[in-house]
Amino acid sequence: MHRDDMVLISVDDHIIEPPDMFVNHLPERYRAEAPQLVHRDDGTDVWQFRDTVIPNAALNAVAGRPKGEYGLEPQGLDEIRPGCYDVHERIKDMNAGGILAQMNFPSFPGFSARLFATDDADFSLALVRAYNDWHIDEWCGAYPGRFIPMALPVIWDAELCAAEVRRVAAKGVHSLTFTENPAVLGYPSFHDPYWNPLWKALVDTDTVLSVHIGSSGRLTIPAVDSPPDVMITLQPMNIVSAAADLLWSPVIKQFPDIRIALSEGGTGWIPYFLERLDRTFEMHATWTLQDFGGKLPSEVFREHFLTCFISDSLGVKLRHEIGIDNIAWECDYPHSDSMWPNAPEELSEVLTQHDVPDADTDKMTHLNAMRWYSFDPFAHIPREQATVGALRAAAAGHDVSIRSRSHRVVDPADKLEAFRSRARAAAAAAR
């Protein structure tokens, strides 16, 4: 398939939340206590919520910037592309990148909204609902057919979380972002029946549990003095653990229609993972008492898990070992793994390298995402206007040049020292 003829739906991108997001959706009695975007004297913008400060790390919003500006140092909104936080500019960036639709994960509340868990249950719930309504009604609602809506969970209460799933499903939401390991956050594990009301709500509403890497807040760093390359390399490893945890848990057996997406976890590791699942079952099921009703674990995996990739050459090559109906593409805008605005070129090169037929391409680039997330962009946008070529033609003249946006030049040695300081502080806090 020619690059310009592809239809691209990305199941993993990110929002840098705008400062006015709570204005229209949080009850007035809570607005003074709501998270606030604070501009600091050093030019950075941070979210302040009670005693917690959440900076916008540079790696979270590097689209259109040179690699010399990558790093973990905080930054201001005026140092990043407006498409990171302005939905109208995001659509322009999507068009210029040839992307028909996106599903956008949150930033400052955390992937599982653990920031909103306060000592005031009503306030906490109001924050989650306000965020979800802003995301659904204002962000996604501004451009029907261009965004797969996603909801934050009420992570601290399974019953309330189930109710929120049902509430937003009535507004057309079929994706719930969730943690890869609730036990790390101090909640019951996937193996605890505590979560059963949530699993039932997901099944009843045909909602996918979208588990993003890093959503437990735990980073895999073997040693405090490890360079950041180790952390970045190992980021997908937590999602491997989550996949094993969920597959062997009672969740799959007790809720046979549940569906789970492993967001930003890559795909190249999955064939070995499936092989290991079946080997484990063959050698140990007699004493671990695992029973999948006559099926192999690898078969069960393909029934329940969606896997996601950016440009994994090995995963594309082994797509039928993974399951061609279980793979969806992601762009990861505006994070540092994204190849925006040249993602179509990179993806097309990988697909051509492995002689991927059009039918397989269509499944991985958009059809699987549409089916898994009950999403139909063509109800709003004719297919002939949804291709890479058509979208880019509509964005003619939109500036996608790579250019510096940082106010400060940070020496790479200082970036490394800042990373090591954070690692030491995290290690000390864990002891």
In the chain, which residues have pLDDT < 70?
Answer: 58, 217-224, 415, 418, 422-423, 425-431
Q: What local confidence, expressed as pLDDT, does residue 307 receive?
A: 97
Q: How many Å apart are CA 408 and CA 355, to the nearest integer?
A: 45
Q: Which tens digit of pLDDT belongs to each residue from 361-393?
A: 999 999 999 999 999 999 999 999 999 999 999
pLDDT score recorded for residue 61: 86
pTM attached to this predicted model: 0.94
What's the CA gap between 102 and 328, in Å, rounded?
12
- At 356, which helix (H) or strand (E)? none
Query: Residue 194: its pLDDT value, please?
Result: 98
Q: Are 62 and 336 in contact (CB under 8 A)?
A: yes
User: How is the chain split into domains, by residue range?
Assistant: 3-37+99-398
Q: How far apart are the first and last CA of the chain?
A: 54
User: If you count them, how many residues does the chain have?
Assistant: 431
Determine the pLDDT at residue 248. 97
Its CATH class, for the domain covering 3-37+99-398, is alpha beta
**Given the structure tokens 């939340």, which residue do they identify?**
17
Q: Let me know how many helices (H) and strands (E) the chain has, helices first.
A: 16, 10
Residue 327 backbone phi and psi in degrees, to 5 = -125, 130
φ, ψ for residue 14, nearest 5 deg: -140, 150
